[in-house]
A and B are shown apart, each in its own frame.
Chain A
Amino acid sequence: MEAGDADAQLMLRYAAGDARAFDALYASHRSGLWRFIRRSVRDLAATDDVFQECWSRVIANRERYQPTARFATWLYRIAHNCCMDHWRKSGRRGRRETSDDDAVAAAADEAATGPLDALQSAEAGTRLVAALARLPEEQRAVFLLYVEGGLSVAEIGEVTGVNPETAKSRLRYAVARLKETLGADAPAD
Chain B
Amino acid sequence: MAQDEEQPIAREPWQRLLGERDAAPPETTDARIRAAARRAPAPRTRAARWWLPASLAASFLLAVMLVQWQFGEGQPALVTESDVVAPMILTAPASAPEPAIDLPAGDTAEASAVLPLQRSPVVAPETAQEYAPAPQVAPPPALPATESAREREEAALMDSSAEARQSAPARAVASRELGNLGALSKSGAEPQPPDEWYARIEALRVAGHDAEADAELARLEAAWPGWLEKNHPQPR
Contact = CB atoms under 8 A, between A and B. Distances in A.
Interface of A: 14, 17-19, 22-23, 26, 30-31, 34-35, 38-39, 44, 48, 51-52, 55-56, 59-60, 62, 110, 113, 117, 120-122, 124-125, 128-129, 146-148, 150, 152-153, 168, 171-172, 175, 185, 187-189
Contacts of A60: 40
Contacts of B9: 146, 171-172, 175, 189
Contacts of B18: 35, 39, 125, 128-129, 147-148
B34 A22 contact: yes
Tier of interface size on chain B: 20 to 34
A110 B14 contact: no
B11 A153 contact: no
Nearest to A129: B18
Contacts of B34: 22-23, 26
Interface of B: 5-11, 13-26, 29-30, 32-34, 36-38, 40-41, 44-45
A71 B44 CA distance: 23
A34 B8 contact: no
A172 B10 contact: no
19 contacts: A14-B37, A22-B34, A22-B37, A26-B33, A26-B37, A31-B24, A34-B25, A38-B22, A56-B33, A56-B36, A128-B18, A129-B18, A146-B9, A147-B11, A150-B11, A152-B7, A168-B8, A171-B9, A175-B9
Given A48-B26, A52-B29, A189-B9, A19 B37 contact: yes
Given A59-B37, A147-B15, A152 B29 contact: no
Contact of B14 (A23, A34, A38, A187): A187
Contacts of A185: 17
Contacts of B36: 55-56, 59
A171 B23 contact: no
A147 B10 CA distance: 9
B41 A48 contact: no
A62 B40 contact: yes
